[in-house]
A and B are shown apart, each in its own frame.
Chain A
C-alpha cells in the first residue's frame, strides 16, 4: 500500500515534470505541400525534416554532424525540437493562412518552408509581418531574397547561382584540364523558366569573355524542332546551353541526332534532362549530357557523412535522399544551430543568431562551402554541382574535388556509342 504522502509526492513530481517538459520544447512550424499534385515531394520533405529533428533530439552521435545525437539543444538545457507540420496544398493563400495559424495558435519560434517559390513568397510575408524568423531551404526564385526582408533566410542557392556555377565549371575545365570553350549557343524554351535562364546565361557569357554565337528561344511543346536545331547547327557552337522541359528535351535530342548536330558538349539546365523518363527514353543517346543538380547520391563517395545520412533515411523510409529532401534536412539543422546559439526561443534572439550563422561545409550533407547569410538573408556559400550522364546514370563531375567520375569531353559522335 502506498501512503497518501507518497502518492502526493508522485503527483507533484509528475506535475513538475510536465511543466518542465513544456519548457523544454522548441516548436518549429514546417509548411510543405502535403496534399495535391506535389504531395509526393511534400511527404519526402516532411520525412527528411523529421529525421533531422529526431537526430538532434536523440542520442546517437554516429552521424558525426554537430547537434546530431545531442539529445536536444545544449544551448537551451537539452530542450527538444518539435516540428509542427502544416499543409499548403500548393496554394499561396493557404500557405499564408497556415503560417498565420502557426504563429498565433502554435506560437512557433520559427517557420521552415515552403518548397514552391510562390508559397514561400506569401508565407514568408506573414512571418515578416509578425516578426518570426522564416527559413527557406528549397525555393530557387532569385526574387525571394530581393525583397528587403529582415526575417527571411535562405540556405539553398537560387537560380542565378546555378548559371554562375556553369561558368565556373567552364573556367575550371580550362584551368585544370586545358579545355577551351569559345563559342556558346543558348537554346531555351520561351516561357519564364527558359527566357530567365537564357538572359542570365547571355549576361554571364559576355562578362566572362565568351562569344554567344546564337540564342534560340522556341515555343514549347511543338511538333518539330528542326528549324531551331538547324539554326544552332549553322552557328557552329562549341557548346550548347539548353533549358527545356521533358517533352522538348527528348524531341530536341532526337533532332540533334537525326540532323547530325554534335556540339562538343551539351550543358543542360536541369528540368527535362534530369527526369528519369529522359534517360529511359534516350537510352545510350542520352549519355554525355551534362546538367546542373543541387545534390547527388554519389557525393557520398567523397563525403562519407552523406552516405551515412542516406543510410539512416533508407532504414526509416526505404528511399534515398534527393536534392529536395537533402535541402529540407539541412534546413532543420541550420535552424537548430541558430536557436542553439541564441539560447532562447525569442524571435529577436534567433534572428540575431541566424545573421551570425557560420556553419562550415564539412558539417553539412550538401556540396556547399557552408552556410553564412548576407544582408538579404541569402546563404552566400551555397553551390550546385554538375553531373554528366555516364552509362545511363548521372555522375557528379564538378566540383572536381567532389566528383565521382571524370568528365567526358567532347561528346563522342552519335554513331560511335
Chain B
C-alpha cells in the first residue's frame, strides 16, 4: 500500500465530503431558521438534477451553464412549497411538521416516477468532463468542479448571513422569532427566504452532481441520510458546521472503507456521529 494510494483516497474523501456539505447546507439553513426538519430535501436535490438533465436533453445546455437557472428555479420552488404547505404548519406540533415534509418527500418521489419513469438517466457529455492530474494522483474534473462549487456556495451563504441586512434579519429570526418581529422583521418573509435559499442550495448541488452521477427518482434518498448526519454533527443550523462536518464524514467514509472493509463504511460514519452527539449534543459548531 503506497503513500500515493493513501493520499489519493484521502483527497477523494475530501472531494465527496464537500458535495455532501453542499447538500446539507440548505437543510441546516431551513432547520436553523424554522426548527423544521425538511425530509423532502433530498427530493429538492433530485429536482435540481432533473432540471439540469432536461436542460441538457432538450436544449443541449450543459448543467454547468444552466446552473444559475436551476438555482433560481429551485429557489422559486422552495418558496412555493413554503407558501402552499409549510406556512400552515409553522406553529403546528412537531409530529404534524414531520408528516408534512415526509408526505412531500413521498409525493415528489412518486411524481418523478410518474412523470419521468424510474429509469436511470445521465448527462453523457459535459464541458467539465475529463480529469485533473496532480503528480501520480488523479481526480475526475466533475468531482473537482462540484467540490469547488460547494466551497463557493458555502462561502456565499455564509457571507450573505454575515454581511447583508437581509442575512442579519434571517439570523435574527432564527435566534428569536418574536423579538425579531418586534424589531419589524416580517417572519413569514424570512421563512420563505430560508426555504428559497435552502432549495436553491439543493438545486446547485443537483446541477453539479448531474455531471457525474446517474439521475433517477430515488437519488435523493442516497444523499439525504448523510446530509442529516452532517446537520446534526455540524450543529443544527450551522452552515459552517455542516461544511466541516461534510469534509470529516467524507474522509472517514472513504478512508475507513479503504483501510477496513467497505461494508462498514457507514458504520464508521454513524459511530462518529454518535460519539460527537454523546459528548457534544449541540454538534461541532452548534450553540449550546
Q: Which residues from chain A sit less than 8 Å from chain B, CB to CB?
A: 190, 216-219, 221-228, 230-231, 233-234, 246-247, 250-251, 254, 257-260, 277, 280-281, 283
Contacts and interface: CB of A to CB of B under 8 A. Distances in A.
B5 interface: yes
A413 B149 CA distance: 30
Contact of A233 (B5, B139, B253, B254): B5
A30 B225 CA distance: 45
Interface in B1-18: 1, 5, 8-9, 12-13, 16
Nearest to B133: A260
Given A258-B143, A281-B120, A224 B5 contact: no
B75 interface: no
A257 B139 CA distance: 9
Contacts of B177: none
B56 interface: no
A250 B263 contact: no
B262 A228 contact: yes
B5 A227 contact: no
B222 A223 contact: yes
7 contacts: A217-B262, A223-B16, A223-B223, A247-B216, A250-B122, A259-B12, A283-B124
A227 B140 CA distance: 15
A221 B254 CA distance: 15
A233 B143 CA distance: 19
Contact of A216 (B12, B226, B262): B262
Given A219-B262, A223-B223, A277-B120, A230 B138 contact: no
A230 B5 contact: yes
Contacts of A257: 131, 140
Contacts of A277: 119-121
B167 interface: no
A223 B226 contact: yes
Contacts of B266: 219, 222
Interface of B: 1, 5, 8-9, 12-13, 16, 20, 119-122, 124-125, 131, 138-140, 143, 212-214, 216, 222-223, 226, 253-258, 262-263, 265-266
| Most central of A225, A228, A250, A257 by chain B CB within 10 Å | A228
A281 B214 contact: yes
A283 B123 CA distance: 11
Given A251-B214, A281-B120, A224 B16 contact: yes
Contacts of A246: 120, 214
Nearest to B222: A223
A250 B262 contact: no
Contacts of A221: 222
A198 to B, nearest CB: 12
A195 B1 CA distance: 26
A230 B8 CA distance: 9
The 3 closest A-B pairs by CB, nearest first: A227-B257, A258-B140, A227-B258
A236 B217 CA distance: 36
A246 B218 CA distance: 14
A231 B222 contact: no
A226 B8 CA distance: 10
B254 A224 contact: yes
A277 B13 CA distance: 28
A277 B120 CA distance: 7
Nearest to B139: A258
